[in-house]
Structure 1
Amino acid sequence: MAAVGAACAAALVALTAVPAQAHAPVGRPAPHWQLKDTGAPDVRFRGLAAVGRDTAWVAGTGGTVLRTTDGGGTWRDVSPPGAGDLQFRDVEAFDARHAVVLAIGEGEASRVYRTDDGGGTWTESFRNTDTRAFYDCLTFFDRRHGLALSDPVDGRFRVLSTTDGGRSWSVLPDAGMPAALEGEAGFAASGQCLVASGPRDVWLATGGGARARVLHSADRGLTWTAAATPVPAGDPARGVFALAFRDRTHGLAVGGDYRADQPSPRAAATTADGGRTWRPAATPPPAYRSGAAWLPHSRVAALAVGPTGTDLTTDGGRTWRTLDTGSYDTVDCAPDPVCWAAGEKGRVARLER
């Protein structure tokens, strides 16, 4: 599997070096996003879970959840009943039958649902009753242990915890959470403002405050440390929008300013010490990016996506090159190896080569 992942990364490097028709072997197309018809042109999918080459879940506006088990050839609408007014921004899937989705918003608009039968039925396992809370994203360490992140309540980020795969949730104590900066919050842009790697490590990304920060916990959310990043902040529209960690020490942060008429310099950063320190990318993506993912089985290659395109790094996030100019909000990869992306106007694509 590692050899296949390395070959995929090498092919992506070649793709960015010269035009596809100049280097692609006869009869074999260069790596590219292949759009899959979801039949949902009015939905914006910011939640994405890549289970494998054949199976993926997407979640988005209008309470919509779709699932494919044939590589995107067909999609089944498995939306929870009565969820039409909700905005799903994250989905975490364990396989083709078991998944957890998060709806975002103030007060009771923030909810969590779980299915054990491929979306045939859903159970609402959490409904936020605190009007001060606004949940943004969730992550799982394994099939049982996971966390969900809310914007600050009483001056500290609030974290939910589950130990039974999302069937029940409880608010963690905030004594080990550093104080939030004025105006600081998470971004519910891609389901990647809270990410885990390994059995206990988790990171959360922030923006809106004077500095864009990444907070890290090594004990499943009980205690946290905060580190500033070089990604610009100082405005409610700026900060770190997505994180990706390939192990407990090496990570990427991407973001910028989500407003289309505003530039996003220094829109990416890297860490090699678990998030204690962050360095700006020498050549960052050219614009705001809302999602990121490491290529399967690669120590150096990753993708970043946003409304104006997809970028590739082949040196661990130090430099980025544009791969595609299509609009995507989120990206996720599975060990198959395969990568999927999703975004506005019902757009879902699988990376092909």
Structure 2
Amino acid sequence: MRSRSSTRGAIWMATWTLLALVSEQSLSAAEFRSIAALQKSGTEVTLLSVYFQNVGVGWAVGAGGAILRTSDGGKRWRPVSSGTTVLLTNVSFADASHGWVVGADGTILHSTDGGEKWVAQSSGTQSALYGLSFLTPSLGWAVGAGGNILHTKDGGLHWTDQISGTNAALYAIHFVDQTHGRAVGALGTILATEDGGLTWIAQETQSAATFFDVSFTDPLNGWVVGNAGALFQTMDGGTRWIDRTLACTRTCSRPTDLIKVRFTDSKSGWIVGERGAIFRTTDAGFSWVEQPNGTKASLFGLTFPDPTRGWASGERGVILRITAK
């Protein structure tokens, strides 16, 4: 078993990869715009994940065990005790009451009161955990370093390993229903399941990119994003992945790492990444337009509780409210 110090080093190395800064890029397409307004988070720590259950209630997590909560759409953010100081990488809620946070050293935290109090759950691993997907207060998955995929059927009272078939770090997981899911990570890894994770099958993109996130709107249509502008789309459940990488333009020295992708419906989607990059599509990802946002902080978290209102989180405690026009 790896030592806690080496595990901690690995998680910070992975985080440093996300935090590396590159120059800006832009794409031209049909005109549409959004408004991104900075909110006062009250912290300077990096916030790696943000999640809103509705347009009023949300949470953000990050370095040093930080958990923030808002009940007024981010006008006021307040700290909530996590009971830990480890790096927290992801937060997700199944409903207004039941939520989970994952992080370094196999950390899993659980709340049953809307994120006011958090209790540690036993993950059975000391490896860093990066991604979460919960469909109900009982049914969920988590992924992390070393190809770990964990599954629970009882709200996290018990977590069991699912065989991923890879040792690559897995950074994100997304289930659209109880059977169809995807997990993505380093070395171009995309894993697919059609049986709730009993079996995971590798899908081929012909890319060695590190994929940081995945978003599907139904079992067939999905997108993955990663380093160096990596962006791939499938319309057949992953049998074929189409390379739509966002190339570097004249204004940047190398392509921007794309960290999170979210689609609010089959046509409308968003991507955030390094140096404050925000991209938007209204044509199912065939074209993307960079959105002005007033920050150069790298953005790592992204959530849209409804089609026109979203939030992003990132370096130095940055939280942005995004309003689509």
TM-score clears 0.5: yes
Partner AA of 1:304 in structure 2: I
In 1: Cα distance, 2:260 partner to 2:169 partner: 17
What is the aligned length?
Answer: 287
In 2: Cα distance, 1:44 partner to 1:72 partner: 17
In 2: Cα distance, 1:140 partner to 1:320 partner: 29
Which SS does the other structure have where 1:34 is aligned? strand
Is contact 1:230-1:269 (8 Å) kept?
A: no
Which SS does the other structure have where 2:197 is aligned? coil
In 2: Cα distance, 1:17 partner to 1:340 partner: 23
Aligned residue number for residue 306 of structure 1: 273
How far the C-alpha of 1:299 sits from its partner, in A, is 1.6
Which SS does the other structure have where 1:118 is aligned? coil
Q: Is residue 240 of structure 2 the alignment partner of residue 277 of structure 1?
A: yes
How far the C-alpha of 1:47 sits from its partner, in A, is 1.7
Identical-pair percentage: 25
In 1: Cα distance, 2:116 partner to 2:285 partner: 40
Aligned residue number for residue 287 of structure 2: 319
Q: Structure 1 residues 95 and 76, CA, compared in 2 at 3 Å: closer, same or farther?
A: farther
Which SS does the other structure have where 2:64 is aligned? helix
Is contact 1:16-1:323 (8 Å) kept?
A: no
How far the C-alpha of 1:314 sits from its partner, in A, is 2.2
Q: Is residue 56 of structure 2 the alignment partner of residue 89 of structure 1?
A: no
How far the C-alpha of 1:252 sits from its partner, in A, is 0.6
- Structure 1, unaligned runs of 5 or more: 1-14, 21-29, 188-192, 257-263
Q: Is residue 108 of structure 2 the alignment partner of residue 112 of structure 1?
A: yes
Partner AA of 2:54 in structure 1: G
In 2: Cα distance, 1:337 partner to 1:79 partner: 31
Is contact 1:310-1:324 (8 Å) kept?
A: yes
1:57 to 51, 56, 59: 59
Aligned residue number for residue 35 of structure 1: 38
Q: Deviations over 1:266-291 (max 9, x none)?
A: x1010011122211117558521100
In 2: Cα distance, 1:311 partner to 1:229 partner: 22
How far the C-alpha of 1:250 sits from its partner, in A, is 0.5
In 1: Cα distance, 2:134 partner to 2:108 partner: 13
In 2: Cα distance, 1:63 partner to 1:246 partner: 31
Q: Structure 1 residues 252 and 173, CA, compared in 2 at 3 Å: closer, same or farther?
A: closer
1:197 to 139, 154, 176: 176
Aligned residue number for residue 4 of structure 2: none
Q: TM-score if structure 2 supplies the norm length?
A: 0.81
Which SS does the other structure have where 1:345 is aligned? helix
In 1: Cα distance, 2:278 partner to 2:142 partner: 27
Higher Cα Rg, which structure = 1
In 1: Cα distance, 2:220 partner to 2:75 partner: 37
- Structure 2, unaligned runs of 5 or more: 1-27, 249-254
Is contact 1:173-1:222 (8 Å) kept?
A: yes
Partner AA of 1:172 in structure 2: D
Q: Structure 1 residues 270 and 123, CA, compared in 2 at 3 Å: closer, same or farther?
A: same
Q: TM-score if structure 1 supplies the norm length?
A: 0.75
